[in-house]
Structure 1
Amino acid sequence: MGKLAFIFPGQGAQYVGMGKQISEQYKSAEVIFDQASEALGFDVKKMIFEGDEETLKITENTQPAILTTSVACMQPLLEKGIKPDVVAGLSLGEYSAHVAAGTMDFKDAVALVRKRGKYMQEEVPVGVGAMAAIVGLDNDSVIECCKEAQSEGVVEPANFNCPGQIVVAGEVKAVEKAAELCKSKGAKRAIMLPVSAPFHCSMLKGAGEKLAMELAKIELNDMAIPVVSNVTAEYVTDKNLVKDLLIKQVSSSVLWENSVRKMIDDGVDTFVEIGPGKTLCGFIKKIDKDAKTLNVEDMETLNKVLEELGG
């Protein structure tokens, strides 16, 4: 068998009730939800299991909620001796990956991503920034359209998710212009996204600087497993590089497609997406249709993974 990767989703995958089934069946998962409440000083479990979509959609709630759910859903796999050779996560998911790799203590991570969400939200006033998904156009054409649209303001590629799916971010007018140009160049679709801030572009530099001050307060550990960085799409094995990469990540493009290719080139043939949704599984299938993808978010998906991977 080839290598196994655990991958973790980012913002947008959240839903009320995520992780509930697994936490009811596995004490180790429930403990993670309790630790999150302890670290943040409010009932995280209640917000995720019984809250409402609107509250969960607020960035400073979404980020710790997804991280907590992902780390909780991973516990049964670790309990059954299923351990990854490499880990990676999309944007916010990179923090879940660092918890999985042992770089970061869960309680530190959950407090950190709550602040990360707050800083990202506050950096750009609501209504000033936007994001759009461009479907069916190659990377170079999208980069070209962004350059052309910069006459209207800031617009940059934010996520290279998979072949033919790139997200751009920046100021509203410039993003609309870039979307228009992409369509005229042959994009199948250019969809404005329902987000409250222009993530992963230079407009969020200030949020990265505030995050740096929080990161300075926490102690990192040596990694037990390599993590693929969003910023470089390369393995990080030195804990001393992690903080700088996480600061840059806030305002840099997420190189997800290249990160996945890196893992595949290194012999990974099975990816398990852990946490809400299976967006990343979809991206991976578009990158390499032969890769095996599984996900864990409830008892049904967990049991399937345990069966497949022999836990």
Structure 2
Amino acid sequence: MKLAYVFPGQGAQYVGMGRELMDRYPVARDTVAAADEALGFSLSKLFLEGPEEDLRLTYHTQPALLTVSVAAWRVFQSLQPACQPAAVAGHSLGEYTALVAAGAMSFEDAVRLVHHRGKLMDEAVPAGQGAMSAVLGMAADALEQVCAEASTDGEVVELANLNCPGQIVISGSAKAVERAGQLAKERGARRVMPLVVSGPFHCSLMRPAAGQLSAALAAATLQSAAAPVVANVDAVPRTQPDDLRAALEQQLYSPVRWEADVRAMLDLGVEGFVEFGPGTVLSGLIKKVDRSVVTYHVEDESSLQEALQATAH
């Protein structure tokens, strides 16, 4: 069975994530220790003990999720070395995790980069001025029209995450997001849910942060990926360092096209997906794109054993 490995983004985190694998497997403990050393502070104490409000800070959430996801992937790979993915992908910051899994970026570089990325995203728009909302039950073209009507010269709202059929996240200036939400409900959206986020991610308001991130990406060492990395910006599989870098920079201010990513991996012949890290958000979205595929996840001992058994053939 051809497998794709996928990695979650912000929102999947919780205090205590990764503890069971760390308790049982030295490779998980070593991964977490390497993250603490690379960052120069105890990231592990933060995601193992909290407090939750500190873990929710973007510049903590991103390296914490990457670390726990890489730890889960390394445990699985150490026990199932013959299992290699036909493609990898991650949702937003999860794309950095995918690059680590594909051998294109070192774990230490990735954890430092996403910590820096989180700070830049946090600083790009003053607190309270940006917002994001999930819109359920509305087609992308209709919602795009709503966003265009709700935007003004000084306030923008745009599509940010095209997650699966009927689930799209919008992002932008707080007032414009609110206007778009009202308009979407008037035009038939089933539900509009404001999200608890620290900024308006994946929209043009993040362009200043992308400019600063570009310099950090240019300084990072990237190698050719051992498996195609399906990029969020356009769902195109990439393996070459310059292409991977460009996708990461654009990703900061462009929509995450997760539904298109899943379809691109299916076009590569993928029949099953393994999600590494906390939760099963991506597995749920994948099933909404194509119910015929199988999904597994690796988060703790029981899910690890189930994934190992299913992929052993």
2:223/2:240 contact within 8 Å kept: no
Task: Give the corresponding residue for 1:290.
Answer: 292
Matched residue SS, 1:97: helix
2:32/2:71 contact within 8 Å kept: yes
Q: What is the alpha-carbon distance in structure 2 between the residues aligned to residue 218 and residue 267 of structure 1?
A: 31
Q: CA deviation at 1:77?
A: 1.6
Matching residue's letter, 1:240: D
1:57 equivalenced with 2:52 (yes/no): no
Task: Give the corresponding residue for 1:45.
Answer: 44
Task: Give the corresponding residue for 1:253.
Answer: 255
Q: 1:218 aligns with which of 217, 220, 227?
A: 220
2:103/2:225 contact within 8 Å kept: yes
Trace 1:1-311 onto structure 2 (pairs within 5 A). Answer: 1=1, 3-79=2-78, 80-81=80-81, 82-151=83-152, 153-310=155-312
Q: CA deviation at 1:76?
A: 1.8
Matched residue SS, 1:251: coil
Matched length? 310
- Structure-2-length-normalised TM-score: 0.97
Greater shift, 51-60 or 146-155, is seen at 146-155
- Structure-1-length-normalised TM-score: 0.98
User: What's the % identity of the aligned pairs?
Assistant: 49
Q: CA deviation at 1:86?
A: 0.7
Q: What is the alpha-carbon distance in structure 1 between the residues aligned to residue 24 and residue 228 of structure 2?
A: 30
Matched residue SS, 2:196: coil
Q: What is the alpha-carbon distance in structure 2 between the residues aligned to residue 93 and residue 145 of structure 1?
A: 29
Q: CA deviation at 1:83?
A: 2.1
What CA deviation, in whole Å up to 9, does each residue of 1:67-88 have, x standing for no partner?
0000000012211212211100
What CA deviation, in whole Å up to 9, does each residue of 1:154-187 have, x standing for no partner?
0000000000000000001100111111111111
Instruction: Give the unaligned 5+ runs of structure 2.
Output: none
Q: What is the alpha-carbon distance in structure 2 between the residues aligned to residue 41 and residue 259 of structure 1?
A: 34
Instruction: Give the unaligned 5+ runs of structure 1.
Output: none
Q: What is the alpha-carbon distance in structure 1 between the residues aligned to residue 7 and residue 171 of structure 2?
A: 22
Q: What is the alpha-carbon distance in structure 2 between the residues aligned to residue 103 and residue 175 of structure 1?
A: 36
Matched residue SS, 1:277: coil
Q: What is the alpha-carbon distance in structure 1 between the residues aligned to residue 293 and residue 310 of structure 2?
A: 14
CA RMSD of aligned residues (A): 1.0
Q: Which runs of 4+ in 1 moved over 4 A?
A: none
1:39/1:107 contact within 8 Å kept: yes
